Amino acid sequence: MNEKLLDGKRLAAEIRGEVGERVAGLAARGIVPRLDVILVGDDPASRVYVGAKARACEKLGMASGTHRLEAGAGQAAVERLVDDLNADPGVDGILVQLPLPDGYDTHAVLDRIDPAKDVDGFHPLNVGLLQQGRPALVACTPAGIMELLRREKIPVEGRRAVIVGRSDIVGKPLAMLLLHAHATVTLCHSRTRDLAAVTGQADILVAAAGKLALIGPEHVKPGAVVIDVGIHRITERETVERLFPGDEARMARFEAKGSVLAGDVDFVRVAPLASRITPVPGGVGPLTIAMLMANTVRAASLRRGIEA
């Protein structure tokens, strides 16, 4: 079983090691890459993610700033902060944690970020460059998935890749990256008819729908590579018992913490069919943060005309 597991944690450590070398190279020239994160409101999951991003910067010898605004701060206050960070020559990367609370115009905020500092790759200029296959700052989760495929030598060219979920953060940019890597790409979503018939053709199946255990064995072709982008916190014992029957270690974690994490894939039932599969946690999640660090160093280099 273990040789099937795609160990995102290990690969993320590998990537962070390489990013750390680039940080040291920049430090020798007096440059310390800096990432600034904007968090509006107090969504608990977002707070955890933002904290993890700041800590990752610190560990790599990079600088970071966290800007917390109240949920009611207002569109103008968020945009003013983006303007200030755009104008600050010491800031290399700007990330607005999503989702913004209700009432905010997300596109208006993202459009305002200097594309050269857009380490999330969400600015329409970077999205357009990606679509055209030109070098750009690329969204971190899709970039992390491509790194995972590359480092694990999973062939992409000519393969059928099916992505479940058409978000701007994962599904759409990943479709472009896989297409540029010469896969035959299908994007599925909530209105796709007979989902299993489509996903069942996938050599590479990516679950990014945001629905707990959506992908079961009936969705997976034997031998497929399965990549799970979902992350759900399960707080009901009955759900843990249903998804992880007999998994005493997981139940012990549930008892200790009151919750466990699981993905969009019904891991216990799908893993026997898959040739390779990412776990949750420890799969795609750690890669996303590693790629954010890589994007920040890349932005810091490119802004100064240094080869990235």
Catalytic annotation on 221?
no
Nearer to ligand GUN, 140 or 287 (CB): 140
259 contact partners, CB below 8 Å, separation of at least 6: 233, 234, 235
Residue 120 is a catalytic residue: yes
116, with CB counted inside 10 A (0-12, 13-18, 19+), is middle
Return the structure tokens found at 173: 């940019």
Rounded least distance, CB 98 to ligand GUN, Å:
4
Nearest to 294 by CA among 7, 67, 56, 88: 56
Task: Quote the tokens at residue 170.
Answer: 């994962």
Nearer to ligand GUN, 220 or 229 (CB): 229
Does 284 contact ligand GUN by CB under 6 A?
Answer: no
98 binds ligand GUN (CB under 6 A): yes
200, 221 Cβ separation under 8 angstroms: yes
Residue 12, interface with ligand GUN (CB under 6 A)? Answer: no
CB of 140 to ligand GUN, least distance (A): 5
Give the residue carrying structure tokens 């920049």: 26
In degrees and rounded to multiples of 5, residue 62 shows phi and psi of -100, 165
169 lines the binding site for ligand GUN (CB under 6 A): yes
Per-residue mark of binding to ligand GUN, 111-130 (x: CB under 6 A)? ---------x----------
- Taking CB under 6 A as the binding criterion, the range among 12-20, 79-87, 91-99, 128-136 that sits at the site for ligand GUN is 91-99
59 given a catalytic annotation: no
Shortest distance, position 201 Cβ to ligand GUN, whole Å: 28
For residue 141, state whether it binds ligand GUN (rule: CB under 6 A).
yes
CA–CA dist 39, 58 (Å, integer): 18
Q: Among 47, 15, 17, 56, which residue's Cα sits nearest to residue 144?
A: 15
Which residues does the annotation mark as catalytic? 53, 97, 120
Q: What are the residues binding ligand GUN (CB under 6 A)?
A: 95-98, 120, 140-141, 169
